[in-house]
Each structure stands twice: as structure tokens, then as C-alpha cells.
């Protein structure tokens, strides 16, 4: 990523690695560049690798996940050669960098139990380290807009940011599901007049409920799309986990990566309901959702509930 881009760091987020080993055991491919393989081979570490259909190279997996994961959840590469010798994807995790016109928005993956617990140093105290970490991330196209609010209406990035700020404020003042329903109904009513009506009109205090039948069907579909591992459950469930996770999804611009912002709001409503209705603990369900939404193929709601 371009080094001159400003970092947008959420004030409430904290992290310091506590070597849980979850990222090393997760069911995902750990990509590794050929130059890194050569560097490690020259240092005496031969990594088992596999090739994907697209030609990318990934570490082969053992019974416990990454073959470099030690019995004490330590990384053998890190232990022998230092953090900088690890594949870039390992050095970057759990940080998520989203480049936007106003800078790079930094968030954290909720697959990590330490992130779920919000433990460690504030991200704002790690700006220098994070700026260096951005150089390990492959350059992404900056989303500039205009963005689809609904299938027929668009908005520029600055207008979206004002609306998103109001959405986050609303999340702190009313129940999560009510906030998303209000935002959905507000866009339905006022998307064609965006920028010409007060922001509060986009979040009506009284809003018609979303079809329970639709929400049940979408929740059932999302639950089928994830694989929840019981070992991901926390011994003590983190406070306000679902709300913090949903806030993080908004901050990393998930709404702008859906077909429309309206689709994104409906997805957040389904995610919230999935955590609530899941037969598994919230911490395990959120970790599984993160594997799908952020580290996997993603998910889109099938159709509008009207």
C-alpha cells in the first residue's frame, strides 16, 4: 500500500498477540510468496507447500494446522528466524487494511480470541508499527464510488461517510436489530432524496419490521454456510461481542462491498440474528462467520424481504 496514506484507527480497538494458535489452526490457506520460500530454504527451513488451481502457493497443512506450529502454539519460523521471516499473511494477521479515499481503515479479525476479548494495547498506540505492516499487504484498488445505496440510487463517498457515522451513533443508542431495520426503512423511503433531507430522517424512530419468514430463512441459510468449531468457544464470553463485531464490519466498509448498501444492512441484520439464534456460543459463531465473511468467499443475502 502507498506509504503516504493516512491510517484510520478505531479508538476502542486493542490487540497484542497472546499465542492462542487459532490463526495457525484455522481452515484457510496460508499464502506464501516464492521469494519467501527461497529465503526460508536458504536459512535451512523447507516448508511443505501446495499449489492452488489459480497458481498461488500455500503452506501444506498437518493434523494441527500449519506445519510450522509448535506444541506450545509458537511459530517455528518466528522462533528460529524472527517475526520478519514469516509469510506476509502471517505477519499481517489479525490486522485488516481497507484502503479508501480518506486513508487506510484499520480493523481486526474476530477469528482471533484476543480480538474478541479486546485485550492488549490500543491500536492508536501502534501507528508506526501498523504503517510498516501495510507495506506487506498487496496493493488493493481504492474504492472511490459512487456507491449504490439501492438498486436505483447512488451516493458519493463523503455522503456515505456522513451516513455511516450516523449509523454508528444509532447503534450506541438503540438495540442493534432495531437500528438496522430503521436504517433499511430509511433508505427505502429517502434514498432518492439523499443529501436533501436531514440524516435523522434516514433512521426513523418507528419502522416496520422486516418479514420474520425472510429473516428466519436467511439466518438458516447463513448457519448452513458456516462451520462452527466448538474449540473456538471462549471460556468466558466476551462482553458486547456481537455489537463490537458488527461495528467492525461497518468500519471495514462491508456495506460498500455488497451489491448495494441496502443489501449490506440486511446482511448485518442476518449476521446479528445468526449469532443470536446459533446453537453454539457467540464467540464460536462469530469466529466461524469471520472465516466466511472476511477470510472466505463472503456471503450475500438472496433477495429483499418485500
Residues 212 and 165 in one domain: yes
Residues 11 and 84 in one domain: yes
Joined grid coordinates for residue 251: 468500519
Kindly state the helix (H) or strand (E) to which residue 12 belongs, with its residue range. Answer: none
Q: How many domains does the chain have?
A: 2
pTM for the model stands at 0.92
pLDDT the model gives residue 53:
61
Q: Are 273 and 265 in contact (CB under 8 A)?
A: no
Mean pLDDT, contiguous 10-residue spans, the chain (306 residues): 78 93 84 84 83 70 78 87 89 95 96 96 94 87 92 96 96 93 95 91 93 95 93 86 97 96 97 96 96 93 80
Cα(221)–Cα(57) distance, integer angstroms: 31
Give the residues across from 155 on adjacent strands: 147
Whole-angstrom CA distances from 271 to 113, 181, 288 are: 19, 13, 11
C-alpha cell at 61: 497443512
Domain residue limits at 173: 147-293
Nearest CA-CA partner of 8 in 92, 143, 98: 98
Clarify whether residues 160 and 267 are in a common domain.
yes
Judge whether 298 lies within some domain.
Answer: no
**How far is residue 287's CA from residue 111's CA, in Å, rounded to a whole number?**
4
Specify whether 179 is located in the same domain as 271: yes
- Do 218 and 271 lie in one domain? The reply is yes
Q: What's the pLDDT at 62? A: 65
CA 69 to chain centre: 24
Q: How far apart are CA 243 and CA 172, in angstroms?
A: 9
Amino acid at each position: 500500500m502507498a506509504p503516504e496514506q493516512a491510517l484510520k484507527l478505531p479508538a476502542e480497538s486493542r490487540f497484542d498477540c497472546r499465542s492462542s494458535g487459532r490463526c495457525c489452526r484455522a481452515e484457510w490457506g496460508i499464502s506464501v510468496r516464492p521469494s519467501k520460500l527461497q529465503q526460508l530454504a536458504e536459512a535451512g527451513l523447507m516448508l511443505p507447500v501446495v499449489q492452488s488451481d489459480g497458481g498461488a502457493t500455500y503452506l501444506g497443512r498437518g493434523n494441527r494446522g500449519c506445519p510450522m506450529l509448535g506444541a506450545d502454539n509458537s511459530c517455528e519460523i518466528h522462533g528460529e528466524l524472527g517475526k520478519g521471516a514469516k509469510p506476509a499473511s502471517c505477519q499481517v494477521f489479525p490486522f485488516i487494511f481497507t484502503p479508501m479515499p480518506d486513508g487506510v481503515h484499520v480493523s481486526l479479525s474476530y477469528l482471533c480470541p484476543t480480538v474478541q476479548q479486546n485485550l492488549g494495547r490500543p491500536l492508536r498506540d501502534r501507528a508506526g508499527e501498523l504503517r510498516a505492516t501495510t507495506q506487506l499487504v498487496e496493493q488493493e484498488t481504492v474504492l472511490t464510488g459512487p456507491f449504490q445505496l439501492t438498486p436505483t440510487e447512488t451516493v458519493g463517498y463523503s455522503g456515505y461517510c456522513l451516513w455511516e457515522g450516523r449509523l454508528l451513533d444509532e447503534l450506541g443508542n438503540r438495540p442493534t436489530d432495531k437500528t438496522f431495520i430503521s436504517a433499511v426503512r430509511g433508505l427505502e423511503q429517502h434514498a432518492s432524496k439523499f443529501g436533501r433531507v436531514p440524516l435523522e430522517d434516514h433512521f426513523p424512530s418507528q419502522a416496520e419490521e422486516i418479514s420474520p419468514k425472510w429473516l428466519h430463512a436467511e439466518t438458516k441459510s447463513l448457519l448452513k454456510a458456516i462451520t462452527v468449531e466448538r474449540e473456538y468457544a471462549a471460556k468466558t464470553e466476551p462482553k458486547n461481542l456481537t455489537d463490537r463485531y458488527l461495528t467492525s464490519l461497518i468500519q471495514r466498509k462491508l456495506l460498500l462491498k455488497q451489491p448495494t448498501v441496502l443489501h449490506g444492512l440486511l446482511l448485518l441484520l442476518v449476521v446479528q440474528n445468526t449469532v443470536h439464534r446459533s446453537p453454539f456460543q457467540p464467540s464460536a459463531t462469530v469466529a466461524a462467520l469471520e472465516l466466511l465473511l472476511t477470510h472466505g468467499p463472503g456471503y450475500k443475502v438472496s433477495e429483499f424481504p418485500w
